[in-house]
A = this chain, B = another copy of it.
Amino acid sequence: MSGPTTRTRATMSDVAAAAGVSLKTVSRVVNQDGYVSAETLATVQEAIQRLGFRRNEFARQLRQGTTATIGLIMEDVADPFYSVLTRAVEDVALAHNYLLLSASSNEDASRSRQIVESFSSRGADGIILAPAQGTDPAFLAAEIAAGCSIVFVDRIVPGIEADTVLADNAGGSCEGVTHLIAHGHRRIAFFGDDASVFTAGERLSGYRLALADAGIAFDDDLVMLAAPTRDDLEDGIDRILDLEDPPTAIFAGNNRWSVRLLRHLKSRGEIATRGFVGFDDFELSDVLEPGVTVIAQDPATMGQLSADLLLRRVGGDRRAFEQVRLSPRLVVRGSGELPGPHA
């Protein structure tokens, strides 16, 4: 294999030579700064066209000390929650002429750290971070001290002060479970991510809170905590569904779990046999029969708000950190209103 392609872009001095002017004059034309005679302007512009010159942003940024770059690190772009959030951040970045770097941590703290370092050493002014479980606070603190602003989205790292955009996970979860209870369910299964994932912990608390409010004892047998992407969960799910005193309703802790569970239920031939509420909306939740009742988050708004906060911060804003909690909305569609035995 031969060596890497060396890019052969024309430089400013190439243009200057071609146009028979000094480098600085070209710079003036490119940056529309200072006065250039109409004639020189035309000559230089022609040379720029002809050579296909494009300013090297690295060199410019190196000299100016600014980068106009922000980063976004989430668990997985392929998750619809994050892909919608990403798109919203993209749009804000583009509108402000910022470059957006984004990457998936795959819920791996060391990969996440590697990405943060990569973005930071590329001069990102700030990073919107949905921290993977196990993220080292000391590392982040050093990053912040070095001048890279952090905005947490969806999750936080305890002990690190930063602007934050979160959903009210416990509240939403509590509302969803309470909704099931109101429809006559007392045996409600909970499926969620590892409790070490920030949102999962909060959502589990909400579940427990709702049970406690209704005077229902918490039963560990009804709870399953695992990454919904694992492929060895079927037995565990069946074990819960087939308990001696089985759940008459199910609460899914995120959209991945919802999809997984609905698929599993269908494979068991169970359509609409148990109450179902999921945290986070997903595509086709309204087309399934019955429609799936969810606690809907608003990932686009979460993305937009976090980008706004970050741009404000990297713009030099010094005010106290903001902690935004967005209330998710209960969207009633049918699956959560199936009557339980106590209805």
Residues of A within 8 A of B (CB): 1-10, 52, 54-59, 61-62, 65-67, 76-80, 83-84, 86-87, 90, 94, 99-104, 111, 117-118, 120-123, 125, 142, 145-149, 259, 262-263, 266, 271, 282-284, 286-289, 313-318
Kindly state the separation between the CA atoms of A271 and B288 in the bound complex, as whole angstroms.
10
Kindly state the separation between the CA atoms of A1 and B313 in the bound complex, as whole angstroms.
10
Q: Look across to chain B and name the residue whose beta carbon is closest to the beta carbon of A122.
A: B57
Other-chain contact of A121, B6, B55, B66, B266 (Cβ < 8 Å) = B55
| Copies assembled | 2
Q: Take A83-B83, A288-B287 as given contacts and tell me if A54 and B123 are in contact as well, using a CB distance cutoff of 8 Å.
A: no
Q: Look across to chain B and name the residue whose beta carbon is closest to the beta carbon of A69.
A: B122
Most chain B CB inside 10 Å of its own CB: which residue of A6, A83, A318: A83
Kindly state the separation between the CA atoms of A125 and B3 in the bound complex, as whole angstroms.
13
Contact B84 A315 (CB under 8 A): no
Contact A5 B123 (CB under 8 A): no
Shortest Cβ distance from residue A93 to the other chain B in the assembled complex, whole angstroms: 9
Contact B147 A9 (CB under 8 A): yes
Q: List 15 A-B contacts (CB under 8 A).
A: A2-B317, A7-B147, A52-B145, A57-B121, A77-B77, A77-B90, A78-B87, A90-B103, A259-B284, A259-B287, A263-B286, A271-B289, A283-B284, A284-B284, A287-B288
Kindly state the separation between the CA atoms of A7 and B78 in the bound complex, as whole angstroms.
32
Shortest Cβ distance from residue A143 to the other chain B in the assembled complex, whole angstroms: 8
Other-chain contact of A76, B7, B87, B289 (Cβ < 8 Å) = B87
Most chain B CB inside 10 Å of its own CB: which residue of A4, A266, A284: A284
